[in-house]
């Protein structure tokens, strides 16, 4: 058994006392429904692994003194149904209850079979962490859509993938190992994921054919594997499909022939995949086709697709990553950060009720630090989804440890003030704040065919935490971290505290040795790995830092800059607009300041740059020491693999430190007050 492969579903991470869980002797459920059978099988396997005894099933189970009842209320014997009914009434959507029953039995009950499966994974998590199960548990998901986006291409490559090749494709065909895919579906379901877009949002020539009979039968087989775990598949589609597949001369969304083409396409897809989730669309973005070609807007485009899916209950997830990627760097007026809001807020209220807008967390592109996109709180009459990047494109590409749960938590907790205090991003995207019909969170996944799924063992924590936060954004960072560490690496106190420390320090550490104070970028163009301060400074991509001999940063104020701060509600607008109240970590995102500007921390900008870059490298050295000390407490394989990555991280952090410090020393001419080596 490869421990990394089992991820957070390790057989026996901690020592257990079977007597504390008498109900695990026998499982009672009504067999014959796929997802419920999956739940029962998971339960049997989990219990057998934990206690080294197979639970009784079937007739034998009914005779056991204590039992675990699994199913919908209508599946349960009357006396069990009676004891759970008050709790089950509190459950929404695919939630569940776990309720102790008189005599040492237990019931895991949902309104739908998938709820029972989630209840089983909760139960097994509790057992694996040796938690008591003596009090009733009632759980409902905060988000309807808990989604993974794959940027996988048909040739087997993964755009921004750092953990091997695609699990789904090779050589322009759908090709997969069913056991591996099933294990993947299982990992996803164990943290509550219920939707997956299986191909890259950049839909190239071959993937454009996914909606045809050439590909649908094999995609249907893939969907079938996910179906057992309650995960519905979505396809990324090419807006110009009717033209590119050679059927029509136009893809104009207002042309009736185009509508008819998509209607019959939807019909065909649902014949192959009856529970198909819908389309994910990147249109008029980074050279992808869209409605702009025909003088139409995004609402025209999205609604046309939505009408084709409507009869089948399908959704259109339309991305808001729309900006001018052919900007002239000499043009100081155009501000890429403004673009999504400027494009989509005027369309608020025009989208059909089965359309969701998928919005990246920040206005730029998954940098280590960005403010929250002002579309959250800006859109009040449109279903919306938050898009996070689990894959570490700009955060160390899974060579560096960068645990992003603290970042995501800050995003979800951010108060947009759209409807007064408490209008958090979490409530915008769940749909609760504005009473939207649909909502959720999508994450660009960090998984490939590497045996440990994510390249870096610790990157598994990001996938785990993503799922947990989709289910319940109010979970604390500490809870999620503690769960992942214990479930994955066991409960030795030294291991638990060292790992939690490393994870919790890692995002700030990565930020410290890379681009400072929210300014972003400074990476090598194209692959985005490693330092290159001016890598994007004279490019078309709208990502500049404007450093000169006096200062650095982007003036996005209303008073003297691009006016971007005006896209926020008060009091956020004023907070960002004013130098005195702008948070340090975002200062250079919002303001251009001299190197001698004093931060709220009391340090000058230049000294902050030097200090964080020296400090960032020291923090990596410390992580490396802490990990080395665990050598005899962690299995050698995982220990060695992580140590190797930490070595790379240290080398690269040193490179970042020296490039950034040297660049700003040469630009500013201001020496480090501590006289450390700068080149």
Rule CB under 6 A: say whether 539 interacts with ligand GCW: no
Give 285 or 562: the residue with its C-beta nearer to ligand GCW.
285
Is there a catalytic annotation at residue 365?
yes
Is there a catalytic annotation at residue 629?
no
The distance of closest approach from Cβ of residue 288 to ligand GCW in the complex, given in angstroms and rounded to an integer, is: 8
Give 111 or 282: the residue with its C-beta nearer to ligand GCW.
282
- Percentage helix, strand, coil, to 5, in the chain? 45, 10, 45
The distance of closest approach from Cβ of residue 116 to ligand GCW in the complex, given in angstroms and rounded to an integer, is: 35
Over its C-alpha atoms, the chain yields an Rg (Å, rounded) of 26
Contact 7, 465 (CB under 8 A): no
The distance of closest approach from Cβ of residue 319 to ligand GCW in the complex, given in angstroms and rounded to an integer, is: 7
Strands (E), 267-418: 278-281, 315-319, 355-360, 384-389
Q: What is the DSSP pairing of strand 96-101 with strand 137-139?
A: antiparallel
Phi–psi pair at 358, nearest 5 degrees: -100, 120
Give 282 or 438: the residue with its C-beta nearer to ligand GCW.
282
Q: Is 400 helix (H, G, I), strand (E, B) or coil?
A: coil
Q: List binders of ligand GCW among 202-261 (CB under 6 A).
A: 202
Q: Beta partners for 96?
A: 110, 139
The distance of closest approach from Cβ of residue 58 to ligand GCW in the complex, given in angstroms and rounded to an integer, is: 49
10 Å CB burial of residue 587 (0-12, 13-18, 19+) is buried
Give 21 or 321: the residue with its C-beta nearer to ligand GCW.
321
Q: List binders of ligand GCW among 573-602 (CB under 6 A).
A: none
Show the tokens assigned to 654.
């040193």
Rounded Cα gap, residues 509 and 506, in angstroms: 5
Rounded Cα gap, residues 25 and 3, in angstroms: 26
Contact 387, 445 (CB under 8 A): no
Q: Could you give the dihedral angle defined by the CA atoms of residues 539, 542, 548 and 550, in that order, rounded to the nearest 10 degrees? A: 180
**What does the per-residue mask of binding to ligand GCW show for 137-156, with x meaning CB under 6 A?**
--------------x-----
Rule CB under 6 A: say whether 162 interacts with ligand GCW: no
Is there a catalytic annotation at residue 155?
no
End-to-end CA distance of the chain: 48
Rounded Cα gap, residues 480 and 499, in angstroms: 13
Rule CB under 6 A: say whether 364 interacts with ligand GCW: no
Q: List binders of ligand GCW among 379-418 (CB under 6 A).
A: 393
Q: List binders of ligand GCW among 65-104 (CB under 6 A).
A: none
The distance of closest approach from Cβ of residue 368 to ligand GCW in the complex, given in angstroms and rounded to an integer, is: 13
Q: Which of 159, 275, 415, 584 binds ligand GCW (CB under 6 A)?
A: 159
Give 24 or 514: the residue with its C-beta nearer to ligand GCW.
514
Q: Which of these is catalytic: 152, 228, 387, 393?
A: 393
Q: Which residues are CB-neighbours of 20 under 8 A, at least 6 positions away?
A: 130, 132
Q: Beta partners for 388?
A: 443
Q: Give, in degrees to the nearest 5, the angle at Cα 376 between 373 and 381.
A: 145
Give 168 or 321: the residue with its C-beta nearer to ligand GCW.
321
Rule CB under 6 A: say whether 321 interacts with ligand GCW: yes
Peptide bond just before 500 cis, omega within 30 deg: no
Question: Which residue has the closest beta carbon to ligand GCW?
Answer: 365
The distance of closest approach from Cβ of residue 46 to ligand GCW in the complex, given in angstroms and rounded to an integer, is: 36
Give 252 or 365: the residue with its C-beta nearer to ligand GCW.
365
The distance of closest approach from Cβ of residue 161 to ligand GCW in the complex, given in angstroms and rounded to an integer, is: 10
Cβ neighbour number for residue 398 with a 10 Å cutoff: 24
Give 151 or 663: the residue with its C-beta nearer to ligand GCW.
151
Q: Is the Cα torsion angle 162, 163, 167, 172 positive or negative in sign?
A: positive
Count of residues touching ligand GCW (by CB under 6 A) = 11
The distance of closest approach from Cβ of residue 321 to ligand GCW in the complex, given in angstroms and rounded to an integer, is: 5
Q: Which of 69, 276, 351, 366 binds ligand GCW (CB under 6 A)?
A: 366
Rule CB under 6 A: say whether 201 interacts with ligand GCW: yes
**What does the per-residue mask of binding to ligand GCW show for 431-470, with x meaning CB under 6 A?**
----------------------------------------
Q: Which of these is catalytic: 4, 297, 335, 365?
A: 365
Rule CB under 6 A: say whether 160 interacts with ligand GCW: yes
Rule CB under 6 A: say whether 556 interacts with ligand GCW: no
Q: Could you tell me the CA-to-CA distances from 219 to 43, 50, 59, 165, 358 in Å, in that order?
A: 29, 35, 38, 18, 24
Q: List binders of ligand GCW among 263-292 (CB under 6 A).
A: 282, 286
Give 393 or 511: the residue with its C-beta nearer to ligand GCW.
393
Rounded Cα gap, residues 148 and 154, in angstroms: 18
Q: Which of these is catalytic: 177, 286, 478, 647?
A: 286
The distance of closest approach from Cβ of residue 302 to ligand GCW in the complex, given in angstroms and rounded to an integer, is: 16
Rounded Cα gap, residues 309 and 316, in angstroms: 8
Closest CA to 184 of 216, 143, 152: 152
Query: Hey, which residues are catalytic here?
Result: 286, 365, 393
Give me the residues that bind ligand GCW (CB under 6 A), please. 151, 159-160, 201-202, 282, 286, 321, 365-366, 393
């Amino acid at each position: 058994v490869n421990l990394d492969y089992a991820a957070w579903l390790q057989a026996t991470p901690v020592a257990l006392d079977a007597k504390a869980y008498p109900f695990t002797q026998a499982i009672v459920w009504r067999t014959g429904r796929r997802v419920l059978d999956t739940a029962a099988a998971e339960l049997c396997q989990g219990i057998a692994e934990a206690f080294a005894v197979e639970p009784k099933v079937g007739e034998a189970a009914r005779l056991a003194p204590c039992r675990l009842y699994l199913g919908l209320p209508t599946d349960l014997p009357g006396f069990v149904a009676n004891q759970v009914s008050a709790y089950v009434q509190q459950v929404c959507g695919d939630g569940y209850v776990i309720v102790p029953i008189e005599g040492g039995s237990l019931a895991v009950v949902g309104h739908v079979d998938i709820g029972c499966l989630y209840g089983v994974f909760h139960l097994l998590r509790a057992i694996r962490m040796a938690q008591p199960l003596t009090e009733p548990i009632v759980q409902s998901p905060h988000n309807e859509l808990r989604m993974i986006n794959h940027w996988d291409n048909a040739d087997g490559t993964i755009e921004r993938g750092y953990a091997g090749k695609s699990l789904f494709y090779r050589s322009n065909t759908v090709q997969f190992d069913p056991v591996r895919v099933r294990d993947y579906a299982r990992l996803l379901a164990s943290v509550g994921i219920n939707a997956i877009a299986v191909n890259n949002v950049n839909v190239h020539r071959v993937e454009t054919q996914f909606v045809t009979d050439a590909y649908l039968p094999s995609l249907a087989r893939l969907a079938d594997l996910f179906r057992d775990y309650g995960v519905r598949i979505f396809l990324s589609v090419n807006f110009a499909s009717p033209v590119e597949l050679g059927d029509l001369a136009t893809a104009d969304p207002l042309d009736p022939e185009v509508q008819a083409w998509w209607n019959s396409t939807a019909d065909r897809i649902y014949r192959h995949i009856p529970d198909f989730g819908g389309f994910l669309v990147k249109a008029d973005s980074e050279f992808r086709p869209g409605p702009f070609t025909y003088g139409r807007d995004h609402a025209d485009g999205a609604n046309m697709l939505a009408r084709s899916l409507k009869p089948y209950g399908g959704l259109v997830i339309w991305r808001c990553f729309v900006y001018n990627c052919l900007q002239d760097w000499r043009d100081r007026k155009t501000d890429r950060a403004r673009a999504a809001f400027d494009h989509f807020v005027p369309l608020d209220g025009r989208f059909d009720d089965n359309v969701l807008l998928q919005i990246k967390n920040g206005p730029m592109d998954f940098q280590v630090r960005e403010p929250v996109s002002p579309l959250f709180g800006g859109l009040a009459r449109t279903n919306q989804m938050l898009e996070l990047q689990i894959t570490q494109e700009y955060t160390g590409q899974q060579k560096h440890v960068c645990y992003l749960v603290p970042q995501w938590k800050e995003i979800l907790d951010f108060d947009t003030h759209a409807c007064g205090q408490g209008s958090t991003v979490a409530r915008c995207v769940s749909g609760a704040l504005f009473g939207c019909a649909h909502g959720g969170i999508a994450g660009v996944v960090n998984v490939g065919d590497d045996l440990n799924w994510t390249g870096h063992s610790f990157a598994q924590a990001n996938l785990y935490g993503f799922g947990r936060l989709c289910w319940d954004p109010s979970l604390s960072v500490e809870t999620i971290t503690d769960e992942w560490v214990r479930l994955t690496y066991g409960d030795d106190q030294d291991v638990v505290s060292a790992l939690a420390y490393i994870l919790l320090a890692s995002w700030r550490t990565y930020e410290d040795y890379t681009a400072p104070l929210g300014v972003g970028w400074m990476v090598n163009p194209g692959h985005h790995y490693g330092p290159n301060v001016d890598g994007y400074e004279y490019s078309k991509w709208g990502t500049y830092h404007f450093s000169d001999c006096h200062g650095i940063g982007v003036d996005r104020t209303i008073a003297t800059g691009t006016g971007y701060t005006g896209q926020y509600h008060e009091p956020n607008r004023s907070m960002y607009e004013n130098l005195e109240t702008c948070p340090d970590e975002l200062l250079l995102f919002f303001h251009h300041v001299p190197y001698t500007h004093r931060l709220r921390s009391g340090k000058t900008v230049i000294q902050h740059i030097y200090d964080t870059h020296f400090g960032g490298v020291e923090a990596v050295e410390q992580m490396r020491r802490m990990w080395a000390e665990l050598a005899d407490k962690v299995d050698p394989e995982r220990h060695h693999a992580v140590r190797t990555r930490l070595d790379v991280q240290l080398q690269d952090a040193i490179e970042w430190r020296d490039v950034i410090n040297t660049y700003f020393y040469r630009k500013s001419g201001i020496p480090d007050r501590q006289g450390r080596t700068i080149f």
